[in-house]
């Protein structure tokens, strides 16, 4: 037999290419529809599968307690006789009486006034210090930026109870090293736990622990500003102070607004610092803040219904103030854009 010649290979390939290829048999339409439906259902249900754990936790540990508190705020306990036998204590409908008594309570109004004064001290000082530190860390001549960020942020990582205990012992004249130094220098310094200065003592703890978080938020916003803006300003002869005042601060205004809202909400819900300092001072009462009054009514007096109504009032006030402030800022920003 003669071996095939190499020039015959292209002819064979060409000849084989002319053969009609057998087309695959089409699948019946009944088998395609379910597969497409299953794929579409999988694509639509995948986001809900990822959100399900968060939704369940939110419903169990946030939505359900809020709903139960609203339910308790409209109820009260009716005691018949001495209240010792079975059925002598019944939970009955009370309407809005709990809300009326909560809002008209002099202790609650006094606690609201103290929190308002506390916020006027804490929020401006804390946000002003956070902005100043963020601008200093963002300056080109600043050295040891990493150490500075960690040192300023570190107090935020300390729990509020621990920081309150640390500062509380520093405030006590008998154990504080500061008062020991003041005595050696012959200085007469009043106790920070006095009725006139206890507000500043509590505010100092919140400022010390909150500057770091707000500084990181503002500093992150500063790092996102293009460097070309700084270079153009320097070519125009602007100083570092001018750049900070005319470029950096206007750009980070949204971050400042966000930190202001967070700080305002935290101010309305202050609880850990005065509660921790209360055993060390006689100037802090059990109703020094609204949340402390809620805790007193619920767990000391056992009046869950009044405590629930007060907590709902605090929650609604927090929402109204925060939402109202954001709407005001958005309205002013929209008005400036139209101009």
1 pLDDT tier (thresholds 50, 70, 90): very low
State in Å, rounded, how far the first CA of the chain is from the last one: 96
**What does pTM read for this prediction?**
0.81
The CATH code of domain 105-338 reads 1.10.3720.10
Q: What is the pLDDT of residue 155?
A: 95
The contacts found for 44-52 with CB under 8 angstroms, 24 or more apart, are none
Give the separation between CA 261 and CA 255, rounded to whole angstroms.
10
Q: What is the pLDDT of residues 46-75, one digit of tens each?
A: 888 889 999 999 999 999 999 999 999 999
Which residues, other chains included, contact 214 with Cβ-Cβ below 8 Å and sequence gap of 6+? Answer: 126, 127, 130, 259, 262, 263
Give the separation between CA 250 and CA 246, rounded to whole angstroms.
7
Is there a contact between 212 and 152 (Cβ–Cβ < 8 Å)? yes
Q: What is the pLDDT of residues 284-304, one digit of tens each?
A: 999 999 999 999 999 999 899
Nearest to 146 by CA among 219, 230, 209, 252: 219
Neighbours of 258 (CB within 10 A): 15
Is there a contact between 93 and 237 (Cβ–Cβ < 8 Å)? no
The CATH 1.10.3720.10 domain(s) of the chain lie at 105-338
Give the separation between CA 256 and CA 214, rounded to whole angstroms.
8
Q: Which two structure tokens, joined as six digits, stand for 113? A: 């006034």
Residue 13 has pLDDT above 70, yes or no: no
Nearest to 317 by CA among 67, 109, 60: 109
Give the separation between CA 309 and CA 299, rounded to whole angstroms.
15
């Amino acid at each position: 037999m003669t071996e095939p010649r190499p020039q015959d290979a292209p002819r064979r390939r060409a000849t084989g290419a002319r053969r009609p290829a057998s087309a695959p048999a089409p699948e019946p339409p009944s088998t395609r529809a379910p597969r497409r439906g299953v794929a579409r259902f999988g694509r639509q249900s995948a986001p809900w599968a990822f959100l399900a754990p968060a939704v369940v936790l939110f419903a169990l540990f946030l939505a359900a307690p809020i709903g139960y508190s609203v339910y308790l705020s409209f109820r009260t306990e009716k005691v018949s006789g001495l209240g010792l036998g079975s059925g002598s204590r019944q939970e009955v409908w009370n309407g809005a009486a709990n809300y009326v008594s909560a809002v008209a309570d002099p202790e609650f109004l006094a606690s609201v006034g103290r929190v308002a004064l506390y916020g006027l001290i804490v929020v401006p000082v804390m946000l002003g210090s956070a902005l100043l530190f963020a601008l200093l860390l963002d300056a080109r001549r600043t050295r040891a930026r990493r150490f500075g960020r960690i040192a300023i942020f570190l107090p935020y990582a300390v729990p509020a109870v621990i920081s309150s205990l640390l500062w509380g012992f520093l405030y006590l004249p008998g154990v504080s090293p500061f008062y020991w130094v003041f005595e050696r220098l012959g200085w007469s310094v009043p106790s920070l736990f006095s009725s006139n200065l206890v507000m500043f003592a509590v505010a100092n703890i919140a400022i010390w622990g909150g500057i770091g978080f707000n500084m990181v938020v503002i500093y992150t916003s500063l790092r996102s500003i293009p460097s070309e803006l700084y270079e153009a300003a320097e070519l125009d002869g602007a100083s570092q102070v001018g750049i900070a005042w005319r470029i950096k601060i206007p750009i980070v205004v949204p971050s400042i607004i966000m930190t202001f809202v967070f700080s305002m909400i935290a101010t309305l819900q202050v609880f850990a610092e005065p509660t921790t300092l209360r055993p060390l001072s006689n100037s802090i009462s059990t109703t020094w803040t609204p949340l402390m009054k809620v805790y007193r009514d619920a767990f000391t007096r056992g009046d869950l219904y009044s405590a629930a109504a007060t907590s709902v009032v605090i929650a609604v006030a927090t929402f109204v103030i925060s939402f109202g402030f954001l709407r005001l800022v958005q309205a002013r920003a929209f008005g400036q854009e139209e101009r």
